[in-house]
Amino acid sequence: MFIWNNGLRLVKGDVAIDFIRRQPCGFVSHAHSDHLAKHETILCTPETAAICEYRLKRKGKGAKEYKKMPYFEPIFRDGLKLTTYPAGHILGSAMLHAVDEATGESLLYTGDFKLGPSATSKEAVPVYADALIMECTFGTPQHRLPPREETIPIFLQEIRNTFEQERTPVVYAYTLGKSQEITKILTDAGIPVRQQRDIYKISRIYEACGVDLGDVVPWNERIAANDRVLIIPPRNDLIQTETEPVTFAVTGWAIEKNAKYRYGVDYAFPISDHADYDDLIRMVELVAPKIVYCTHGPDSFVDRLHDLGFNAKPLGKSWQARLF
């Protein structure tokens, strides 16, 4: 049903999946740059299309055509039934469910995903498939993240403490996805936000897609007042604030020891838009596939799935071609 040759491709329909090289037809699970290319035709959700159009036009000519695939509404292509399901990662992120109409064989490709609620994206909806191709970023036991309902109140309290000290909270977060998620968490708690200009442009797309991000304004990149939380991309050291800043990193990797020193921040909070170790296992249990192919994760996770009784294989550079 699929082949792997330095990238994943559905055999019927010749659909490249999350290729970063231009293809005649490519499914884009979400609009992060490591999953995106200027394909001639892009299959994706309407929200991902809106973000892709913006990001690709900034780099020159974009896709010739977008075939928009709203969640739960199948399309048919050369003997395949293709349906998107929410992935819970960022706005518009989608898992792709493919069914061979001739044989009935099915495949679920997760892309980047997260189980559980999100402030700015629809919660993931796992569905049965014969084969599961799963992103496994946090595939080690040390990457068990605390529940958000524990982490977020502590994060918000440290932000409030910073204001009480008459200092400026500065949050480092990725331009697409994490920045909007953290903004929504803050504004829902009544804390106003100022965003770096590239982040703010993406946020306008979120709002156009119906995601209300609350009290947020753009940063003009002059001296930032301490009346709002300032959100900027990582590795941005050109900030100037009216008062001494307190810096925060928000990432799943913050669960690792000494993370705040590695990121050069005052606080690091494990708030992630990826499934943690336990949720990776939970995804396999929910999909109940005959075989699991693991990508973007440690080989030890494949061994762990074997120990749990699942038929699992790694999918990556060591595989020249693999057909399900």
pLDDT digits (tens, 9 = 90+) for 132-163: 999 999 999 999 999 999 999 999 999 999 99
Q: 201 pLDDT exceeds 50?
A: yes
Tell me what percent of the residues of the chain surpass a pLDDT of 70.
95
Tell me what percent of the residues of the chain surpass a pLDDT of 90.
86
Q: 171 pLDDT exceeds 60?
A: yes
Q: pLDDT tens, 256-315?
A: 999 999 999 999 999 999 999 999 999 999 999 999 999 988 999 999 999 999 999 998
CATH 3.40.50.10890 residue window(s) in the chain: 148-269
Q: How confident is the model at residue 62 (pLDDT cuts 50, 70, 90)?
A: low
What global pTM score does this model have?
Answer: 0.94
Average pLDDT over residues 63-74: 92
User: Which fold would CATH assign to domain 148-269?
Assistant: Rossmann fold (3.40.50)
pLDDT in the model for residue 6: 78
pLDDT in the model for residue 235: 76
Which residue shows structure tokens 């979120």?
206
Which residue shows structure tokens 């082949």?
3
* CATH architecture for residues 2-142+274-314: 4-Layer Sandwich (3.60)
Find residue 161's DSSP bridge partners: none
pLDDT in the model for residue 60: 59
Q: 318 pLDDT exceeds 50?
A: no
Q: 47 pLDDT exceeds 70?
A: yes
